[in-house]
Structure 1
Amino acid sequence: MTIDVAADTESPPGFRTRYRQLGPLLGGELLGGTVYELDPGERNGPYHYEIGNEECLLVLAGTPTLRHPDGRDELAVGDMVVFPEGAGGAHQLINESSAVTRVLILSTKREPQGCAYPDSGKLSTLGGVFRIAGAVSYWDGETAG
Structure 2
Amino acid sequence: MTKPSGFDPRSVPESNSTGYPEPYAARARKRWYRRLGDHAGLSHFGVNLVRLEPGGRSSERHWHREQDEFVYVLEGETVLVTDAGEELLGPGMCAGFPAGAANGHHFLNRSGRDVVFLVVGDRTPTEEATYPDIDMHGRTGPDGRMRFTRKDGSAF
Structure 1 unaligned residues grouped into runs of 5+? 136-145
RMSD: 1.9
**CA–CA distance in 2 between the matches of 1:9 and 1:104?**
17
Specify whether residues 120 and 36 from structure 1 end up closer, same or farther in structure 2 by C-alpha distance, changes over 3 A only. same
Q: For residues 48-83 of structure 1, give each alpha carbon's deviation from its aligned partner in whole angstroms, at most 9, with x where no partner exists.
A: 111200000000100010001100100010001111
Q: Return the TM-score normalized by structure 1.
A: 0.84
Match of 2:102 among 77, 81, 88: 88
Q: Matched residue pairs, number?
A: 135
Alignment map for 1:27-106 (pairs within 5 Å): 27-106=41-120
1:8 paired with 2:16, answer yes
Structure 2 unaligned residues grouped into runs of 5+? 1-6, 19-24
**CA–CA distance in 2 between the matches of 1:97 and 1:24?**
30
Q: CA deviation at 1:15?
A: 4.2
**CA–CA distance in 2 between the matches of 1:97 and 1:58?**
18
Larger Rg: 1
1:132 paired with 2:151, answer yes
Q: Return the TM-score normalized by structure 2.
A: 0.78
Which 4+ stretches in 1 moved above 6 angstroms? none
User: CA contact under 8 A between 2:78 and 2:108: conserved in structure 1?
Assistant: yes
Q: CA deviation at 1:121?
A: 2.9
**Percent of residue pairs identical:** 24
SS at match of 1:53: coil
